[in-house]
Structure 1
Amino acid sequence: MDASSSTQVLTGPAQQRRKSHGNQGLRRYRRRCCIRGMNEAETVQISSFRKQLLRRRQRSSASKKNTVDVCPQVILDVGHVPLNAAQLKYLSRGPGYIRPNQSSLRPYHRQMNRVKKEETELMNKILKFFSENHYMPRSLPIFKQYAAQLHDCLVLRYTASLSFTDQIQARREFNLTKLIRRKFKRNKLILRETDRSGVFHVGRASDYEKKAAMYRIKTGAYEELHSNPFDEIFTKVEGTPLRPISNTKRAATTGISKYLDQIIRPLFDKYAKSTTIVDGVDLLDKLQRYIAAGYLTASTLFVTFDIIDLYTMLPQEEALAILAEFLHEHGCEKVEKISIETIKYYRQVIGGAMGSPFILTLANIFMWKWEKQTILSKISNVEVYGRYIDDSFYTSNETAEKVQEILETANRLHPNIKLTWKISKAVSFLDLCISNNDGHLSSSVYHKPRSEPSLVPFLSDHPRHVFRNIVHTALMRAIRYSSSFELFDDEQRSIRLLLLYNG
């Protein structure tokens, strides 16, 4: 028997399996070669790209020897800051800055989770709109087709490949953020957004605790509890091998506060419209009518005053009584079929929670009664008076001594309501600066001296229309507020500097 006759011949399924295994092995080998080639090409390309960046940075640094970088500054309230110049510059972009291409650094399953979440939120809004406003059933095939197209679009957006520049920038800013967080945690520092300037403030945790204690002593609005109010809840889960966590985000009081605000705020806006200032444009309109009636003279004074700590110093029982008086006076015995006696408010020693939706309406109604007793009853009906929450403005043709006497009397009326005021022919109110120049009104945009000139940085990952709207809004405000071309030209110059300042 020769060699050829002794060779085993494979036929049928066995031959197909051997051929299939051979093809799979060949495909795996080709795939490994392809991936290895792509990695090598990418390594060479990244190396070349880094050399280009280095040369560009060297040329840029050489050209910037005689220039000074400017940007919004972080407020540092500590002696030693464990951050270098690059980290401080990154924080100077402010709280409004969004790090670009964050999703590109996440694993694929997290990207898909984000796609699913956004798709669900968008589809719920779309289905709710068409079902409630156009009575279209949610089971229509067109909604399923749109959902599939939306899913494909979101997947394409989240998984799109980035250029080498964007990849390096995203990785660099991600590592920078992690390093800043690590340093803050190690040194027990706290990063917070300032209330008015819109920039970051860096302070120590111990300093924040001292300031909080001083504020509690100053206002007397809080009392220390000698026992934990959640102990009763925790005892109910004793013996359970889980850590009990109480979440008050969806508490009953939050929903009640929102509901009360929804039904009562429109009533206040309707009946207190004459004594409410919405913005600077609204105040200018009132002043123009005041001038047209011939009441502005060379001796007319402008008065502004501010209520100190209105929210936290609001007397609760008295505020609820004034709320009932407001509704009775305007014939609102029942609001949305709810009687006045039914409306109650959750308890705090003095004032209300800053984030509570209803506290703003309650404070406005309290001030409605206060200003009737103190200011409106003392000034002429022809004068302009208006209030924006805790900031008030009015005109007066009385002497400065008479105006001073009115404000001092108002300051003594209620122990919780204290004022700071200014009486002059040139004052600032909200973002508007107005002055009486021998009977002629002059107005311009007002910039607070302590506020940092910060905007959303142009490098932020916001939609492009946001930046167009920022410029458009600033210019429109300058046009509306500026009473002369010279003042508009000054404000236009300030806008240019502001945009350059924020990159």
Structure 2
Amino acid sequence: MPQDNDDGFDAEPGYAAFKQYHDRREKRLNLEIEKIALFFRRKASRGQLQRSKGNYNNRRRNNSPDSCSTITRGLLGPAIINDAQTPLTEEEHQLLNLGPRFIYNDPQTAARRRTTELATLKRKIKNRFFDKKVSPGRPVEQFIVELDEMLQNLHNIPTTTINNNRPSINKIKKNYGRLIKRLKFKFKSTNTILRKTDKSKVFHLGKVDDYTKKSDEYMEKTKAYKCLGTIDPLPDLIRRTNKYLLDLRLAKWISQKQYEQLCIQNSNDVELAHLYYLLKAHKPGTPLRPIVAGLKHPTIKISKLLDELLRPLFDQMASKTMITSGFELLKHLQEWSKSNLRQNTLFCTIDVTDLYTMVPQVEGVLSLKSMMDHMKLKQIRGLRTETIIRLSRFVMQNNYFSYNGQYYHQIRGGAMGSPLTLTMANCYMFFYEQQIIKQINNSGGLYFRYIDDIFIAINWPARHLF
């Protein structure tokens, strides 16, 4: 290809970049088309259901794969991404086509969950009464009983009941419970993992060995995690969290109310975070996105409080360069192009690789301090800025999780799943990018960022970008 270029310009890198973009775009379009096709399949299925007069043969026809489904799988690609090449029956394929949001009607599971949820609700209500030094008494018991009866009545309403103006239709119900058990057994026997994808939210089937290999490669690349073996760090983390908060309370860095709000009063209410991965099916090689789920992590209440305090401040500080949607970007671009668009204008998109795990913890916390200094703040909602920095440092330094029977400590970056991590990463990027923004703005260019995605429009020669 280079020899065909009259100017002697090496077009090979440009061709490779375009091919990579084309492959990504084609993969994403296939997933989006499949989502649209699935929507129309469901709509067509509902239309057939409404036209049905209860004929048995028609009911059987509705349960068989329709032509749209066959065409979709044949022409547009699968609604699920079966990289594991696991053989699926037509019924299994149709079930997975329903997507991650599908919930089948299972009275036994619903009854067990109702009992558990009501017991949890009752315990929480009683605890709130005790916090106020008030006895719950019989009204709480009566409320739970009445709520239980209401939920049972709602659950017992037949799902096949249609309003009086339409004929009732008795569909042949699929035994989803049996089908799911069969799928679980098949996945276990073939070492297959079922996950939803990162952006398109369809199902992905992959091999356990492939997940393990990619996970090991990711941990080796980022150097963000330290393996602790099989010793559970949770008891020590609970003790250290409570001690740290108590020390802050005794030193009057936080109030008694804040201490009670943030401390761990019952060790049964907390659990260690766990790591899992979402597949980035829209990217070449299907890389992994790590998610550290820690809804009951010992530091989660501290992280939530800090995020509530700091995120609105960041949104205010970065309002001129941050966007939240593609539509918002287009509006800015349209306005900018009225007086700045040229024939040689360059549009550049940049993706920050592994932002959450690549931000240094010390520098990330210092960026939060820089934000508060920039806004000339001494305290936020009664909490001194020095206290906020101390708490932020403690949260960032105490991200622990379990994965594949091993325990890990995150020694670099923050956990994607912790509320504070996003605000910290955004702050770090904001101060890191200021010199770049200044250069672009001085030349009449355009710069916007959404977390780890950057868009630039400039009238520079291409060589100045690299």
Aligned to 1:385: 447
Does 1:113 find its partner at 2:115?
A: yes
Partner of residue 307 from structure 1, selected from 317, 327, 352: 352
Aligned to 1:160: 157
Could you say which structure has the greater relative contact order, defined with CA pairs below 8 angstroms and 6 or more residues apart? 1
Aligned to 1:37: none
Aligned to 1:252: 298
Does 1:346 find its partner at 2:352?
A: no
CA contact (8 A) 2:367 2:428 kept: yes
Cα displacement string for residues 265-309 of structure 1 (whole angstroms, at most 9, x for unaligned residues): 1110011100101112221222233245x2223332222111111
The one-letter code sitting in structure 1 at the alignment partner of 2:115 is N
Aligned to 2:426: 364
Shift in Å, 1:106: 5.1
Cα distance in 2 for residues equivalent to 1:153 and 1:68: 44
Shift in Å, 1:333: 3.0
TM-score (norm 2): 0.59
Aligned to 1:290: 336
Shift in Å, 1:195: 0.9
Cα distance in 2 for residues equivalent to 1:89 and 1:390: 36
Aligned to 1:187: 190
Number of aligned residues? 326
Residue correspondence of structure 1 range 86-485 to structure 2 within 5 A: 86-99=91-104, 101-103=105-107, 110=112, 113=115, 116=118, 153-161=150-158, 163=160, 168-169=172-173, 171-225=174-228, 228-230=231-233, 247-248=271-272, 249-292=295-338, 294-336=339-381, 337-340=383-386, 341-343=389-391, 344=393, 345-347=395-397, 348-380=410-442, 382-402=444-464, 404=465, 408=466
Cα displacement string for residues 116-139 of structure 1 (whole angstroms, at most 9, x for unaligned residues): 479979x97xx99xxxxxxxxx99
Residue 207 and residue 246 in structure 1: after superposition, are their counterparts in 2 closer, same or farther (change >3 A)? farther
Task: Tell me the secondary structure at the aligned position of residue 442 of structure 2.
Answer: coil
CA contact (8 A) 1:299 1:397 kept: yes
Cα distance in 2 for residues equivalent to 1:378 and 1:68: 49
Structure 1 residue runs without a partner (length 5+):
1-50, 129-137, 237-243, 409-503
Indicate the percent of aligned positions where both proteins have the same amino acid. Answer: 32
**What value does the CA root-mean-square deviation take over the aligned residues?**
4.2
Partner of residue 81 from structure 2, selected from 66, 75, 78: 75
Cα distance in 1 for residues equivalent to 2:179 and 2:462: 56
CA contact (8 A) 1:319 1:366 kept: yes
Shift in Å, 1:213: 0.8
Cα displacement string for residues 340-377 of structure 1 (whole angstroms, at most 9, x for unaligned residues): 35342332321111111100000000001111133433
The one-letter code sitting in structure 2 at the alignment partner of 1:290 is W
Aligned to 1:488: none
Shift in Å, 1:62: 11
Moved more, 53-62 or 85-94: 53-62
Residue 55 and residue 185 in structure 1: after superposition, are their counterparts in 2 closer, same or farther (change >3 A)? same
Task: Tell me the secondary structure at the aligned position of residue 217 of structure 1.
Answer: helix
Cα distance in 2 for residues equivalent to 1:65 and 1:335: 57
The one-letter code sitting in structure 1 at the alignment partner of 2:432 is W
Cα distance in 1 for residues equivalent to 2:169 and 2:147: 28
Task: Tell me the secondary structure at the aligned position of residue 175 of structure 2.
Answer: helix
Shift in Å, 1:327: 1.6
Cα distance in 1 for residues equivalent to 2:361 and 2:69: 60
Task: Tell me the secondary structure at the aligned position of residue 274 of structure 1.
Answer: coil
Shift in Å, 1:152: 5.2
Cα distance in 1 for residues equivalent to 2:69 and 2:269: 57
Residue 370 and residue 98 in structure 1: after superposition, are their counterparts in 2 closer, same or farther (change >3 A)? same
CA contact (8 A) 1:72 1:199 kept: no
Cα distance in 2 for residues equivalent to 1:77 and 1:66: 20
The one-letter code sitting in structure 2 at the alignment partner of 1:315 is P
Cα distance in 2 for residues equivalent to 1:177 and 1:251: 31
Aligned to 2:277: none
CA contact (8 A) 1:253 1:346 kept: no
TM-score (norm 1): 0.55
Cα displacement string for residues 92-134 of structure 1 (whole angstroms, at most 9, x for unaligned residues): 22212222x333x558x6486379479979x97xx99xxxxxx
Task: Tell me the secondary structure at the aligned position of residue 323 of structure 2.
Answer: coil
Does 1:84 find its partner at 2:89?
A: yes
Task: Tell me the secondary structure at the aligned position of residue 68 of structure 1.
Answer: helix
Cα distance in 2 for residues equivalent to 1:358 and 1:265: 8
Structure 2 residue runs without a partner (length 5+):
1-53, 130-135, 161-167, 240-267, 273-294, 398-409
Residue 231 and residue 221 in structure 1: after superposition, are their counterparts in 2 closer, same or farther (change >3 A)? closer
CA contact (8 A) 1:115 1:151 kept: no
Cα distance in 1 for residues equivalent to 2:83 and 2:377: 51
CA contact (8 A) 2:269 2:296 kept: no
Structure with bigger gyration radius: 1
